[in-house]
Amino acid sequence: MRLPLSVCILTYNEEANLSDCLASVRELADEIVILDSGSQDQTSQIAKKFEARFETHPFDDFGAQYNRLFALATHEWILNLDADERLTPELAQSIRDAFSQEEPLRKYQGFSFNRLNYFIGKPIQHSGWSPDPLVRLFRKDSGEMERRKVHVQILVQGNIGTLSGNFLHYTYRSLDSYLQKTIQYARLAAIEMKRNGRKPSLFRLFTHPIAMAFKMYILKKGFLDGKEGIFLAILYSYYTFLKYLYLYYI
């Protein structure tokens, strides 16, 4: 039996990811809603195959686009996933168990669970990527996405419970995909910083990337993730450099 639940997904050219994402939730939720920002690939056809509701809206920033998506949901409870994420059977069962009991649904306005992040095919257990608990299941009238341009999180007014099980995040399947997203996210982050009154600084431009690499590789034990830990520390240092470089030139 499918739950009275709306799964909400943002997409843009997600033909490589969307089928696996939708397959992980189609037997769980009564409604799947997709908000697309102008895909030129097979994203819409894949959504149709899974009988998902497919809407479009131009992208401006992540906070605004997610909140448009959530407004399209028709059920009281929303489960938010990205196209490169999947539910595990264990987490799907935890969600079913929560809906089978009245007490959890009365007591909580949202639920968090752990995300296991993959980098080019390898699960990352350290480097600041794990553990990664996130609120992704919430009451529509009690939650919204943070009103920021990038690196947003769902904000819930009320009590938040915890469910067992992971959802999997197959981020950055290739170096090309990482570099493309890095430029986009760095630019949006710089715009956000400027909007919040941050001033460009040559000192931060050169010191913060070094600090980021040290934090991820040493303080967050990235060295335990093998060569991927080294790569992530360097790549996040590069992202930090780009972010402050964009701020300097905006």
Q: Are residues 196 and 162 in the same domain?
A: no
1 vs 220, higher pLDDT? 220
- What mean pLDDT, rounded, does the chain reach? 96
- What is the share, in percent, of the chain residues with pLDDT greater than 70? 100
Query: What would the mean pLDDT of 164-168 be, rounded to a whole number?
Result: 97
Segment 20-74, tens digit of pLDDT? 999 999 999 999 999 999 999 999 999 999 999 999 999 999 999 999 999 999 9
| Domain extent at residue 123 | 3-169
Q: Are residues 44 and 143 in the same domain?
A: yes
Domain limit, last residue, from 169, 203, 238: 169
Q: What is the CATH number of the domain that holds 64?
A: 3.90.550.10
Q: Are residues 16 and 90 in the same domain?
A: yes
Per-residue pLDDT, 50: 97
Q: What is the pTM assigned to this prediction?
A: 0.91
Bridging pattern class, strands 29-36 and 3-11: parallel
Q: Are residues 145 and 212 in the same domain?
A: no
User: Which contiguous run of DSSP H or E holds residue 29?
Assistant: strand 29-36
- Token pair listed for 25: 């939730």
Query: What would the mean pLDDT of 204-225 be, rounded to a whole number?
Result: 98
Which residues contact residue 159 at a Cβ distance below 8 angstroms, ignoring those fewer than 6 apart? 107, 108, 109, 110
